[in-house]
Amino acid sequence: MPSLIETRSGKRRAIPVEMVDASSIPTLEARLTAADRQWMVSTNFRPNPGAVLLLPDTHGVIERVLVGVDPSEPIMALGALPYRLPEGTYEIAKESIPADPDLVALGWALGAYRFDRYRSRGRAPAQLLVDSATLRSLQPIIDATYQVRDLVNTPTEDMGPEHLAEAIRAHATTHKAKVREWVGDELLTANFPTIHAVGRASHRAPRLIELTWGKNSNPKLVIIGKGVCFDTGGLDIKPSDGMRWMKKDMGGAAHAIALAGLIMQAKLPVRLTLLVPAVENAISGNAMRPGEVIRTRAGMTVEVDNTDAEGRLVLCDAIAFAVEQAPDLIVDFATLTGAARVALGPEVPALFTNRDQLADHVIGAAEVSADPLWRLPLWRPYRRMLDSYIADFANSGASRHAGAITAALYLERFVPENQNWMHLDTYSWNDGDTPAHPRGGEAQGLRAFYRFLSERYA
């Protein structure tokens, strides 16, 4: 059941939901009945963010809902209500404190998400009435966010490299795009050695999936997503607590796939290429070993210092392939480092780019979209942390300092100075439930980049 429904001219009853804060309480109390004011006192209602009060009529039927909100957090404002309120139809009261109605409605829809593929369905979410323009504007974003969450939440047994390919082919069918794949040893023949090295130990063949769409005359845009469908760490194996949630290590691919779908649905005037290197970093007799040296697609050699720094290996061949196409812009998404989470926490992805104007533009789009990003520097003196005595450089080093930066610097080695490039190190996950953000897979940076690209290629 959809959580947002279009306002119709019929007689469908909707219960008003009024957003309040401390400043609006005097005005609210002045227009409430004496019984309602007494009910507020009896229930000790305070307009703290997340507080909810149901106001009944004289027959005990819900007449109005009061919700305490922080106006600076519109996504969170109503994000908990779809399952806190009884099933039914609601609408935002005209008396509510000022807030961006689109973001408030989006928060409601994001809070209504449930991943129920493997369990019986629970109750339906409460529904919010919105006007037709709002619904048309928000539905693509809602669908794309749900797709990211669904892909990330799905266990690896049902979300291996071949399943990522299926998700891409589904978009291709819908939008009349072309798909090409290099699978297994075809990667070696086609000169994608690092993708093959990471994925060769799995019973599921590694692959690079390419989708192309759009007119040749339009600016070339390449979006890349890290598709490590499960990460054991390889021979440098992760401890059990570090491996537990590694089904989410394809979160970058989920973002890239969903963003490509948004771009095609909106018919942005670009020549789009989507690249997803899809692998499992597994362990077997032919697993990639620490100390191996791999000659990458770009011709540079990389010493494998740590098999658990595999994401940058699958990405570097994809980036090199993208550079060969001389695009206007390359954007890559990856659940790349725990260090980014240590630096910025789980809710704020780390942005890296070689162009200040690109950073300014996407961060501005993030602010408007209520989809936070934070830029970290490509501090090139830290390249020394990836020095190798035997190869051009290593994929990681002995120091644990600046792990997100050194990972981004590794990727930057494959980007020429004249190439516009952006990298997002995203967690793609909610550790717990918060309003609009249920536990599990999450889209982080998706709305920001979609707005940014829509403005750049308007």
Q: Is 37 designated active site? A: no
Task: Parse the chain into domains and list their residue ranges.
Answer: 4-126, 141-456
pTM of the predicted model over 0.95 = yes
Catalytic residue among 149, 200, 297, 312: 312
- pLDDT at position 2 is 82
Q: What is the pLDDT of residue 35?
A: 94
Which among 114, 169, 238, 456 is annotated as catalytic? 238
Question: Would you call 238 a catalytic residue per the annotation?
Answer: yes
pLDDT of residue 64: 96
Is CATH 3.40.630.10 the right assignment for the domain spanning 141-456? yes
The torsion angles phi and psi of 211, rounded to 5 degrees, stand at -115, 135
| pLDDT score at 121 | 82
CATH class belonging to 4-126: alpha beta
User: Rounded CA gap, 254 and 250, in Å?
Assistant: 6
pLDDT score, position 184: 98
d(CA 222, CA 220): 7
Specify the residue for token string 């194996």.
237
Six-digit token pair at 203? 């019973």
Residues of the chain with pLDDT under 70: 8-12
Per DSSP, helices labelled H in 220-355 are 240-243, 251-266, 311-324, 338-344
